[in-house]
Structure 1
Amino acid sequence: MTLDVATFGETMVLFSSDRLVPLEYTHQFYKQIGGAESNVAIGLARLGHQVGWFSKLGNDPFGRYIEKFIRGEGVDTSRCIYTDQAPTAVFFKEKLTPKNINVYYYRKGSAASLLRADELDETYIGSAKMLHLSGITPALSQSAKEAVYKAIEVAKAKGVKIVFDPNIRLKLWSIEEAKPVLLDLIRQADIVLPGVEEGQLITGETQPEKIVDALRAHEQQTFVVKLGAKGAYYTNSQEKGYVPGFTVEEVVDPVGAGDGFAAGVMSGLLRGWTIQEAVRLGNAIGAIVVGVSGDVEGLPYWAEVQQKLEDNGTRQDVVR
């Protein structure tokens, strides 16, 4: 099997309400899924790419639901592992207003946190053009962190491009714990996708250019700093610049927009587009995602993205 992208990490069952009330007054929930890496995988699959995602899941109804859902989106899940030693994690989303959303996680000691380096399929990872990783996985446990480092070792040995999104979750670890690990992972990556706030947390700098200067390990790295509604700043060894965001009429749910953005940037690069074009694609997808409730429900198919770009006068040549 040859993959465009391989990725792994924890995906949880998400329970959310469409009512704008505190959780204690919510009596009915919608069952969905949420996880940074699987969001990216589904986003890429909808754009027409061959993607593999895996994790360690609880041998329970929620674990089976997650795998079936992701597999149903066209993502290969053949390397998923099930365990009876721990449950699949869940989390709850509380919406007080469209811009005031709280998330409550129940993931400590979850099945995904038991993932070990010796459980990785090295041939599978080596078959991909890109390996996508996030800073969430090393925060889950020592064994999960070791799995991330093993995956990087395999990717480097096989010539697989490493894409890293810091995705800082301070509910999982403190910034003091996170910073040295994230800095190390950033310096080993080929493509880094931090949010500007994450860059500030790690470096203390506030300007995208200075954030990149503080993070860059060598000139061959590509950085794309997410700036929310303002768009993104990009830089590599050949060029740098800002790409403005797309106008969004109404923000329904901002969760998952960063993952959609990552999928767009990676899709553009896989298609052979310039970094500027790839970032523009990421911005378009992020703008689409925030208009729909749920982590993956708003991730667009290629025809929708083409329309978005065409409406903004930036339609790309799809045969490139």
Structure 2
Amino acid sequence: MSDVDLLTVGEALVSLRSPGPLATGGTLTMHLAGAECNVAIGLARLGHRAAWAGRVSADELGEFVLRQLRAEGVGADGAHRDPDRPAGLMFLERRTADVTRVRYNRAGSAGSALNVDDLRGPLAAGARVLHLTGITPALSESAREAVTWAAREASAAGTFVSLDVNYRARLWSRAAARATLTPLAGYASVVVASADELDLVAEPGADETTAAADLLRRGVRTVLVKLGADGARAYTRDGVTEAAAVPVTAVDTVGAGDAFTAGYLSGHLDRLDLVDRLRRAVALGAFAVAAHGDWEGLPRRDELSLIAGSAAGTTLR
């Protein structure tokens, strides 16, 4: 059996956060970001053995990324240091109490140069779950080839493959995304998407039920639909299961979808039934939105009951 529960592949970003408008200057704080990193950290916090593979810059920013991953218990032996390309940057500015604006500087980044050879070693080492997102294949042709190769190889080896659609309009058009993600979904055991992303992995223009049925016919075991404040829905061959969101005071929604996915995959690794997997998924989503940062508020295993069992404003002594 593999020593790794989850392997994920993608671009790690250096996130620079501002409490006010970037144009007026002020203090920036540095954080680790990236959808795949968020999921890996979420799993590691819950005691699972998680590993990340990708490319980082061969400078202080690349070292920061690796130190952050390792500090959170995520294996980073599959990271390649790229001496020719910079770190991808993500800028977040709090424009109002309710609006956060995100900007990226990632063109030509180390992470975008991911290629098949970067993944041969990490994939050969084995993992119970391979987690991918629709962000990485949008970064470059080589990254697209690498992600498709990894999904195909893992699926052929019987590995559980997770795909979060995670569509980013600034990276590619819906048509381009559909051309890559629809066949990619065919290798997945579970597909995670918001309702408006489903037609990127299924029949164009299909409604939610039709899209889910299409994916299940193609071999996907579970289709997870993220509904935000309304919770989530899961489609399997046995029918539809729903979970309500955990009510919390939302302060930062960045990373909520990644937290949801981490919770679901943790439940899968713990062999929970579908209802309990969904409960853990929405609980982690609640932890994410109730704290600032992409992953900083995610719980340890002994903290899973904190939100569900506490009223707003509770102080635990």
TM-score normalised by length of structure 1: 0.91
Change (3 A) 1:220 1:65: closer
For residues 147 and 219 of structure 1, the distance between their equivalents in structure 2, rounded to whole angstroms, comes to 22
The answer to whether structure 1 residue 177 and structure 2 residue 176 are counterparts is yes
- Report if aligned partners of 2:134, 2:163 keep a CA contact under 8 Å in 1: yes
Change (3 A) 1:217 1:94: farther
Give SS of 1:52's match.
strand
- Report if aligned partners of 2:133, 2:166 keep a CA contact under 8 Å in 1: yes
Q: Which moved more, 1:239-248 or 1:76-85?
A: 239-248
TM-aligned CA deviation for residue 211 of structure 1:
3.4
For residues 240 and 93 of structure 1, the distance between their equivalents in structure 2, rounded to whole angstroms, comes to 37
Which position in structure 1 is the counterpart of 2:226? 226
Which position in structure 1 is the counterpart of 2:165? 166
- Report if aligned partners of 2:116, 2:145 keep a CA contact under 8 Å in 1: yes
Which position in structure 2 is the counterpart of 1:213? 213
Which position in structure 1 is the counterpart of 2:262? 263
Which position in structure 2 is the counterpart of 1:35? 34
The answer to whether structure 1 residue 78 and structure 2 residue 60 are counterparts is no
1:109 maps to amino acid: G
For residues 134 and 126 of structure 1, the distance between their equivalents in structure 2, rounded to whole angstroms, comes to 20
TM-aligned CA deviation for residue 244 of structure 1:
0.8
Give SS of 1:177's match.
helix
Which position in structure 2 is the counterpart of 1:11? 12
Change (3 A) 1:98 1:223: farther
TM-aligned CA deviation for residue 179 of structure 1:
1.2
Aligned length: 308
- Report if aligned partners of 1:131, 1:163 keep a CA contact under 8 Å in 2: yes
1:243 maps to amino acid: A
- Report if aligned partners of 1:7, 1:52 keep a CA contact under 8 Å in 2: yes
TM-aligned CA deviation for residue 201 of structure 1:
6.1
Superimposed CA distance per residue, residues 34-54 of structure 1 (whole angstroms, 9 cap, x where no aligned partner): 100000000000001001101
For residues 157 and 185 of structure 1, the distance between their equivalents in structure 2, rounded to whole angstroms, comes to 13
Equivalence map 1:91-102=2 (5 Å): 91-102=90-101
Unaligned runs of 5+ in 2: 312-317
1:16 maps to amino acid: R
Superimposed CA distance per residue, residues 198-226 of structure 1 (whole angstroms, 9 cap, x where no aligned partner): 225664345x3233134444355211100
For residues 70 and 123 of structure 1, the distance between their equivalents in structure 2, rounded to whole angstroms, comes to 16
Which position in structure 2 is the counterpart of 1:2? 3
1:259 maps to amino acid: D
Superimposed CA distance per residue, residues 15-63 of structure 1 (whole angstroms, 9 cap, x where no aligned partner): 1122xx3220132111111100000000000001001101111101111
Equivalence map 1:1-320=2 (5 Å): 2-18=3-19, 21-122=20-121, 124-125=123-124, 127-199=126-198, 203-206=204-207, 208-218=208-218, 221-248=221-248, 250-311=249-310
TM-aligned CA deviation for residue 282 of structure 1:
0.5
TM-aligned CA deviation for residue 101 of structure 1:
1.6
For residues 258 and 291 of structure 1, the distance between their equivalents in structure 2, rounded to whole angstroms, comes to 13
- Report if aligned partners of 2:188, 2:220 keep a CA contact under 8 Å in 1: no
TM-aligned CA deviation for residue 157 of structure 1:
2.9
- Report if aligned partners of 2:130, 2:161 keep a CA contact under 8 Å in 1: yes
For residues 291 and 247 of structure 1, the distance between their equivalents in structure 2, rounded to whole angstroms, comes to 10
- Report if aligned partners of 2:283, 2:308 keep a CA contact under 8 Å in 1: yes
Superimposed CA distance per residue, residues 260-287 of structure 1 (whole angstroms, 9 cap, x where no aligned partner): 0000000011111111210111001101
- Report if aligned partners of 2:78, 2:122 keep a CA contact under 8 Å in 1: no
Q: Which moved more, 1:148-157 or 1:126-135?
A: 148-157
1:127 maps to amino acid: G
Unaligned runs of 5+ in 1: 313-320
Q: CA RMSD in A?
A: 1.8
Superimposed CA distance per residue, residues 135-186 of structure 1 (whole angstroms, 9 cap, x where no aligned partner): 0110010101111111112212321110000110111111121111111112
1:3 maps to amino acid: V
For residues 173 and 241 of structure 1, the distance between their equivalents in structure 2, rounded to whole angstroms, comes to 32
Give SS of 1:154's match.
helix
Give SS of 2:182's match.
helix
Superimposed CA distance per residue, residues 102-138 of structure 1 (whole angstroms, 9 cap, x where no aligned partner): 1110000101111110221346455211100000110
